[in-house]
Structure 1
Amino acid sequence: MMKDLEYTSATEPGDAEEAKLLRTISRRKLLASMGLSGAALLSGGVLYAHGQGGSVTQSVYGGSGTFPHDADEIAYQLASTTPERTVGDKQRETVSVKDFGATGDGTTDDTAAIRAAVDYANVAGGTVYFPAGTYLVGSAPGIQVHSYVHLLGSGSGASLIRTNGNLTAPMFNTVGSRICFDRLALQAPNTVNAAALINMTGGENITVHRCMLDGGHTAIWLSPRDGESLSEVRITDNTMEHFNFGVYIGSHHTQLIGGTIRNVIIDRNVIAKGQKIGDGGDGIKTVRSCSHLIISSNYIADQSRDAIDLFASGDTVVITGNILVNCFVKGLDIKSDLQNYPESKYGFNGRRLTISGNIIDNSGLAGVAISQNADNGDYNYLIDVSHNQISRSQNEAITFSGRFITLSHNHIFENCLASASYHAVRIGKNLPIALTKDVTIQSNMIVNNGSDAGAGHALYISAYVEDCLVQGNTIQNDPILPNAKQKRGLYVNQLTKNIHVKDNRITGHSTIDVTVVTNADLLGESSGVTIGSLAAGTGGEYALLSMPRPGAIIRATWIASNGIAADATDYVVLDLRKRSGATVTSLSQHSTATTAVSAFTRSTFANVKYVPVAKGDILTVNITQNGAGKEIKNGYFLIEYIEM
């Protein structure tokens, strides 16, 4: 508005006494008095007295025309071909908080002025601009931001909004859609109450971009009210420091149902230097009904608990390209607990998750933990963990239980640094109610994990794990690389079922490469040989398998197309042997003197399960006949083994 400026052309006749009072003003001063930038306003645009035809140029530099008192009486036209409107309209496209009395001097309480500016924009939408300065607000500002409002700062921390005490209510509440926070700095030092700098209570298309958020309980809180939804949220290119939680998704309040949260992108943020309030917090935490979430390319460091915690919530989530370092508890924590956090309130637990291409370093406990509540047997499922670099975790690099989980192409190096016996990769929980099933562990590098006092394994498969493929992994202790303290390779516990071990390289461990407990159900490679038919009284030694790599026998069986009755006088002895160079070792014998053989039925050699064999060892069967012997028709031998 231009209430204090009056201009009369020097060529206009008037009272001589009045003429003495006229001020000579420049074009720049005129525009400055209008609060406008000459370059921005007049680049291709024309100003003139609205409805009077005299241009502002004429008014300033001479000629006919008058200049009105109010910006709404000044016409603005971008070009001769564009519509005419007033300078007032042009100015109102962006309002400054200083237009409403904010000082930005760092000492005056500007809460009321900022609220007035935002309320003005709330009516019809628009941009509220914060010129460079420090704007002090009270401890419970609770400024409501409605739809189509854009809060804009000067960037690089120049526009700082700071509380004057412990924040007890959100600094800003979003209560609409298409809202943007851009290039602002928000600060709430010494805040311990559960209040956020930016609290989102519902709506869609809400953006926080290029902001610097510092100090407090929570930087950004996505907490839709009961029955409402929050969607299309973008949190990008921000810096968040000194918080208990950087981004908190949902509400932990047990009495609230809360709204749904979906389609959220958290990308390219720095979330660092977390502070501990109470039990501590996380860089990013979900606790309620969140789906279609992308967490990508963030740097999350120095958190008092986890870098990312999907706490009993998370459906269709992609976590990719993040750097998660120096967190006191875990790099990434995914929990399933429908008993204590039911789907009706919290949404479904972790399912349909992709965790890929992350660097997870120096976690206080585990690098990645995918766990389930053992009290009720619920589980996470359909999870892909691939192409991650996980190192220097004090406990496990990866521990998980659930259904349909893939662990592939990860580099797992220098974990299990604590003195206790942790395993670099642990599958399952050794609990029957916490069954882990349908798992693929493929093409991982598990190298040099362990400590001087630790007695854990590189890969540990717990009891009650079923239908698990372990293929193409390198499990090795390498003396050339740092932390060559991985003493034990693969461990398969009892009460497992259909554990298929194939094409792995397991070597270099000082204690043992492979441990398979009795009653483990292990599958591996197989080699079958047909020796044909033998007449009663005939025999010989037949080669069955030459070991391509070191390994162990899982089982050896044979089949004939005819039945052979038990006969203590006339019988056949089949002797399974291992030839290591010139050394011949009998591994097991099967005799029809005491044990009958049914046609087309597998007969198993006893006591050969998990007998180690070296590369180049040859397994044979030596058949001898006693008395008149017995005929063997279409004899077939099958050796199942694993390679290391």
Structure 2
Amino acid sequence: MFKLDYKHIRYLLLVIAILLVLFLIYKYFHPTPTILNVKDFGAKGDGISDDTRSIQTALDAGTKKKLSIYFPAGTYIVNANDTLMIKSNTRMVGDGLNSVIKADKSKFAWSLFYISGSNIQINQIQFDGNNTVNRVVVIQPGSSKVQISNSLVSNASQSDDKSSDFYSSIVAGILIYGNTYSIAIDQTEIQNVVSLHQLDGSLIARGIYITTTPGASEKSSTNLSIQNTTIHDIGPADDGDGIYYEDPLLNKNIIQNTNSTIKNNTFYNCAKRAIKLYANGIEVTGNHILNNYLNNNYYQGKDKGKLAPDMYAGISVYGNNIKVANNVLEGRGSFYSGIEITSSQTVRNIEVSANTITMGTQSKKIGTTSIRVGNIEDFSISSNILENGERGIWNWQNATRGTITENIIHMPDGGGIDLTTYLPNFIQNNIRCSNNNITAKTFAIRTPEGNSSIYLNS
């Protein structure tokens, strides 16, 4: 029987040591790659060649090996009818605006790019729909932990072929479907998302559209973050919104809080609204909304040629448990409502605080309101600075258990706080209005006659 003595053990240890050193030397001069170059898979990036298959092959390899896919500067033409998809555990990185993935102009499609899975990062890539897709980037149902940062998403539109499915579909820069969570969009730009043809009487475009798959039993996206992002040139005035956060389950009175934030973003040339919320549990803070229109924003659908408001609203709230704070709304034009809170269903637990809303001095102010409040319960409107317009604050439908306090309202051509309604059987109960600083031409505070449940101390 073979028996190891001390000499054999020393020899064996020496051999193992030599093999280890050789392995380390090999790994030093032949390190395992951490990044895959898309050009090594045949992509040209010359703005002419069809790079669809090469890109998908590279992305699949990155998913399998859990490696980053690098897109050197160049323009990568893709056929958007071939579903280009990034899957779990993959990172795309480019050279910023110099790394462009662009739709082939000759072939209209639903989307330029799909994201499906978890632990996905996209950084410094330009996605150009080339006005040949309805949606530029789509985050598929069930995806999670997806981050898009330092990127540009642009040029979504509709086909001019009336027989095409792409003729009147909703247009979006980024579309986020349901059952998704921990989606982050940071330091990204979304631009030139324009609807051309009517859908159910309206032309619908969204810079970022958060919704659910039609007909599916999905919940709206949760733990979503959109921050430090610029969204602009979204239209037309019929129904062009910078961000639309939608939870269709609200129609069935199924309540969930999304625990989401829309923070420190910039909006301009968003033809109808900057932000519309039809979902619960969202904080909208620190955003800058510029109203660049001035008597030049026209409808393009059934009212084509008719002048629309400069902007219908900066922020519209149709959900519960919403905080709207420290936002600045300003510009040349007026808002029909700077901040609009519902006009139909009752919403609850709404805070509107420390916002600055300024209507343009040369704009038409008739019919405009800085903060326009519909059916609401349990709310506070405080410490806002409101300037110009026909009214500062107007509670025009049913309102219960609310405070309107410490607002600075300067309306040289209009009124301050209006708690009256022209609608029959609509009332305000248990409203406390106090410590507001109001300078107004027509009235400071207007209340319904005989309503003893409104408490004034202003």
TM-score (norm 1): 0.55
1:113, distance to aligned residue in structure 2 (A)? 0.7
1:497, distance to aligned residue in structure 2 (A)? 4.3
**Counterpart amino acid of residue 119 in structure 1:** D
Partner of 1:400: 373
Q: Distance in 1 between matches of 2:67 and 2:100?
A: 20
Q: Highest Rg: 1 or 2? A: 1
Partner of 2:181: 231
1:204 to 130, 140, 144: 144
1:252, distance to aligned residue in structure 2 (A)? 7.4
1:369 to 330, 334, 340: 340
1:372, distance to aligned residue in structure 2 (A)? 3.7
Q: In the alignment, does 2:210 pair up with 1:249?
A: yes
The secondary structure found in structure 1 opposite 2:153 is strand
The secondary structure found in structure 2 opposite 1:282 is strand
Partner of 2:329: 360
2:246 to 287, 294, 311: 287
Partner of 1:322: 287
Q: Aligned ranges for residues 526-565 of structure 1 at < 5 Å?
A: none
Partner of 1:81: none
Partner of 1:473: 436
1:270, distance to aligned residue in structure 2 (A)? 0.7
Partner of 1:458: 416
Partner of 1:334: 317
**Counterpart amino acid of residue 280 in structure 1:** D
**Counterpart amino acid of residue 464 in structure 1:** I
Partner of 1:412: 386
The secondary structure found in structure 1 opposite 2:54 is helix
Q: Distance in 2 between matches of 1:321 and 1:151?
A: 29
Distance of aligned partners of 1:319 and 1:55 in 2 relative to their CA distance in 1, 3 Å threshold: closer
Q: Distance in 1 between matches of 2:133 and 2:95?
A: 29
1:440 to 403, 407, 410: 403
Q: Distance in 2 between matches of 1:425 and 1:294?
A: 25
- Contact 1:174/1:201 (<8 A) preserved: no
Q: Distance in 1 between matches of 2:154 and 2:412?
A: 37
Partner of 1:545: none
- Contact 1:187/1:197 (<8 A) preserved: no
Count residues in correspondence.
375
Partner of 1:511: none
TM-score (norm 2): 0.77
Let me know the Cα RMSD of the aligned residues. 2.4
1:212, distance to aligned residue in structure 2 (A)? 1.2
1:53, distance to aligned residue in structure 2 (A)? 7.6
The secondary structure found in structure 1 opposite 2:109 is coil
Q: In the alignment, does 2:232 pair up with 1:272?
A: yes
Residues 215-224 or 439-448, more deviating: 215-224
The secondary structure found in structure 2 opposite 1:180 is strand
**Counterpart amino acid of residue 325 in structure 2:** S
**Counterpart amino acid of residue 424 in structure 1:** G
Partner of 2:202: none
Unaligned runs of 5+ in 2: 1-17, 157-170, 194-204, 250-256, 292-309, 421-425
2:81 to 132, 136, 140: 140
Q: Distance in 2 between matches of 1:192 and 1:107?
A: 18
Partner of 1:173: 114
- Contact 1:372/1:380 (<8 A) preserved: no
2:38 to 81, 87, 97: 97
1:251, distance to aligned residue in structure 2 (A)? 3.3
Partner of 1:427: 395
Partner of 1:130: 71
Distance of aligned partners of 1:458 and 1:161 in 2 relative to their CA distance in 1, 3 Å threshold: same
Q: Distance in 2 between matches of 1:248 and 1:304?
A: 15
Partner of 1:75: 26
Distance of aligned partners of 1:363 and 1:269 in 2 relative to their CA distance in 1, 3 Å threshold: farther
Partner of 1:162: 102
The secondary structure found in structure 2 opposite 1:118 is helix
The secondary structure found in structure 2 opposite 1:458 is strand
Partner of 2:349: 382
Q: Distance in 2 between matches of 1:383 and 1:109?
A: 51
1:76, distance to aligned residue in structure 2 (A)? 1.5
Moved over 3 A (4+): 50-56, 494-497
- Contact 2:115/2:137 (<8 A) preserved: no
Partner of 2:298: none
Greater RCO (Cα-Cα under 8 Å, separation 6 or more): 2
- Contact 1:102/1:114 (<8 A) preserved: yes
Q: Sequence identity, in percent?
A: 22
Partner of 2:455: 500
Unaligned runs of 5+ in 1: 1-49, 57-73, 79-85, 336-349, 417-422, 430-434, 451-455, 478-485, 505-644
- Contact 1:424/1:449 (<8 A) preserved: no
Q: Distance in 2 between matches of 1:112 and 1:250?
A: 30
- Contact 2:111/2:133 (<8 A) preserved: no
Q: Distance in 1 between matches of 2:121 and 2:450?
A: 56
1:122, distance to aligned residue in structure 2 (A)? 2.1
Q: Aligned ranges for residues 174-189 of structure 1 at < 5 Å?
A: 174-189=115-130
Distance of aligned partners of 1:183 and 1:495 in 2 relative to their CA distance in 1, 3 Å threshold: farther
Residues 265-274 or 356-365, more deviating: 356-365
Deviations along 1:285-320, one digit per CA (max 9) or x if unpaired, are 011166111111000111121100013x2x221111
1:219 to 159, 173, 176: 173
Partner of 2:13: none
Q: Distance in 2 between matches of 1:495 and 1:281?
A: 42
1:449, distance to aligned residue in structure 2 (A)? 4.7
Deviations along 1:319-351, one digit per CA (max 9) or x if unpaired, are 11000121632100112xxxxxxxxxxxxxx11
The secondary structure found in structure 1 opposite 2:180 is strand
- Contact 2:206/2:242 (<8 A) preserved: yes
- Contact 1:142/1:169 (<8 A) preserved: no
Partner of 1:71: none
- Contact 1:197/1:220 (<8 A) preserved: yes
- Contact 2:412/2:439 (<8 A) preserved: no
Partner of 2:264: 297
Deviations along 1:52-100, one digit per CA (max 9) or x if unpaired, are 98899xxxxxxxxxxxxxxxxx92139xxxxxxx54xx22x21111111
Q: Distance in 2 between matches of 1:231 and 1:263?
A: 5
Q: Distance in 2 between matches of 1:363 and 1:164?
A: 39
Q: In the alignment, does 2:50 pair up with 1:109?
A: yes
- Contact 1:170/1:199 (<8 A) preserved: no
Distance of aligned partners of 1:167 and 1:295 in 2 relative to their CA distance in 1, 3 Å threshold: farther
